[in-house]
Amino acid sequence: MKAVCWYGAGDLRVERAPDPEILNPHDAIVRVTRAAICGSDLHLFGGFIPMMKSGDILGHEFMGEVVEVGAATTAVKRGDRVVVPFAIACGQCFFCQRELPSLCDNTNPNAGTLEKLYGASGSGVFGSSHLYGGDAGGQAEYVRVPFADVGALKIPEGVDDEQALFLSDILPTGYMAAENCTIRSGDVVAVWGCGPVGQFAIRSAYMLGAERVIAIDRFPERLHMAETHGKAEVLNDEDLDAVEELRDRTGGRGPDACIDAVGMEAHGTGVAALYDRAKQAVRLETDRPTALREALHACRKGGTVSIPGVYGGYVDTLPLGAAFAKGLTIRMGQTHVHRYMRPLLNASSAARSIRPS
């Protein structure tokens, strides 16, 4: 088959690779019909995530048709049209049973390494670094899906591929980012980053009762999309100081909730940004937390900072004092996609009204 393969920082190629085979009884093989590119792929492309190996197949947002199932796979059948969550979950462990599938204990074959780094390992993730299991991804003609009965969601007739595809990651990610803000009606929510995650977070925030959403980025076309499709107020942080401007637009109080939909490769200006770039370049700092710093500074007292943006290691000069003094709640993590796929598919208000194209 053909697949998008990683050969080093900045070096992705479409190469030939053997077709995947069933390796475990709960596996299925899916013929991919659609796949998307995520901001997380950019972190891999940029070489910011350790333990990538030459030839790794990328892609964690995909859907397709089941062509083969393992001996213990019962719910999913050949011919099913399915969309698959980016995180792999067993459905049986302590975490799966608490609806925290991206923290699953039983799907990362390299859990030992992450245990050393982080003290514990989350679930395996498709098309990511071997830290997260290194399961070959879905930017390929075929992909092996472990625990297919738990993950793969059968797509009903009437929902087209493009609508279903985004259930694999970014729609749930944007939604969980907003849900983590415990929005009350009338709230003002600020969103850093107007990539796909930010765009879905904006719409989800409105769905969950926000009165105003303020979207921050520097690219006019992305801001334009946030404004026209998302109905957000926009703030170009190349022209304006985001923290000052947010205070100004909220009577000095700050937004009730702030979402960092940017993650470890934030752009920035001024001395702090130069400092971060320099330290990241020599790997003294692994992540550039510009957006997160701003979110922590801007958020109102007692507010919530929600972090869907990915961080991998260490960050410097995080204003923990400000967060503490303001009594902030901070929530974060990989999205529990399994938890949201069905409700988001069913909620015609969500999945069906959101047409990426």
Partner 1 sequence: MSLVGGSLLLVFGLSRGGRSGALAALGGGALIYRAARGRSLLYDALGLREEPTHVARVASLAHCRGVTVRRTVAINKPVEEVYAFWRAFENLPRFMRHLESVTCDGPRRSRWVARAPAGRRVTWDAEIVDERPNELIAWRSLDDADIRNAGAVAFERGPGGRGTTIRVSLAYAPPGGKFAAVIAKLFGEEPSQQVQDDLRRLKHLMEAGEVPTTEGQPRGES
Ligand X SMILES: NC(=O)c1ccc[n+]([C@@H]2O[C@H](COP(=O)([O-])OP(=O)(O)OC[C@H]3O[C@@H](n4cnc5c(N)ncnc54)[C@H](O)[C@@H]3O)[C@@H](O)[C@H]2O)c1
Among 84, 111, 190, 266, indicate the residue that binds partner 1 (CB under 8 A). Answer: 111
Residue 189 to residue 168: CA distance in whole angstroms:
25
Indicate whether 305 belongs to the interface with partner 1 (CB under 8 A): no
* CA-based nearest residue to 306, from 287, 336, 324, 328: 328
* CA-based nearest residue to 263, from 289, 293, 283, 295: 289
Of the pair 55, 302, the CB lying nearest partner 1 is at: 55
Indicate whether 13 belongs to the interface with partner 1 (CB under 8 A): yes
Residue 349 to residue 326: CA distance in whole angstroms:
35
Q: Which residues contact 3 (CB under 8 A, 6 or more apart)?
A: 14, 15, 16, 17, 57, 136, 139, 140, 141
Q: Where are the alpha helices (DSSP H) in 13-140?
A: 39-45, 94-97, 111-118
Among 83, 181, 194, 232, indicate the residue that binds ligand X (CB under 6 A). Answer: 194
Residue 290: contacted member of ligand X, Zn ion, partner 1, none (CB under 5 to 8 Å, by partner type) = ligand X
Residue 164 to residue 134: CA distance in whole angstroms:
24
Indicate whether 303 belongs to the interface with partner 1 (CB under 8 A): no
Indicate whether 94 belongs to the interface with partner 1 (CB under 8 A): yes
Among 108, 199, 280, 335, indicate the residue that binds partner 1 (CB under 8 A). Answer: 108
| Phi, psi at 356, each rounded to 5° | -55, -35
Of the pair 142, 175, the CB lying nearest ligand X is at: 175
Lay out the site mask for ligand X across 19-48 (x = CB under 6 A, - = otherwise): -------------------xxx-xx-----
Indicate whether 261 belongs to the interface with ligand X (CB under 6 A): yes
Indicate whether 244 belongs to the interface with partner 1 (CB under 8 A): no
Indicate whether 308 belongs to the interface with ligand X (CB under 6 A): yes
Among 114, 170, 214, 295, indicate the residue that binds ligand X (CB under 6 A). Answer: 170
Residue 124: contacted member of Zn ion, partner 1, ligand X, none (CB under 5 to 8 Å, by partner type) = partner 1
Q: How many CB atoms lie within 10 A of CB 316?
A: 15
* DSSP annotation string for 246-312: HHHHTTTS--SEEEE-S-TB----HHHHHHHHHHHHTTSSS-B-HHHHHHHHHSPTT-EEEE-S---
Rounded least distance, CB 93 to Zn ion, Å: 3
* CA-based nearest residue to 295, from 225, 252, 247, 337: 247
Among 134, 198, 255, 268, indicate the residue that binds partner 1 (CB under 8 A). Answer: 134
Indicate whether 331 belongs to the interface with ligand X (CB under 6 A): no
Among 85, 124, 137, 196, indicate the residue that binds ligand X (CB under 6 A). Answer: 196
Rounded least distance, CB 72 to ligand X, Å: 28
Indicate whether 136 belongs to the interface with partner 1 (CB under 8 A): yes
Of the pair 17, 208, the CB lying nearest partner 1 is at: 17
Residue 62 to residue 166: CA distance in whole angstroms:
8
- For residues 158-187, which are near partner 1 according to CB under 8 A? none
Calculate the alpha carbon distances from 260 to 97, 176, 241, 285, 296 in Å: 28, 12, 16, 19, 10
Of the pair 95, 192, the CB lying nearest partner 1 is at: 95
Indicate whether 262 belongs to the interface with ligand X (CB under 6 A): yes
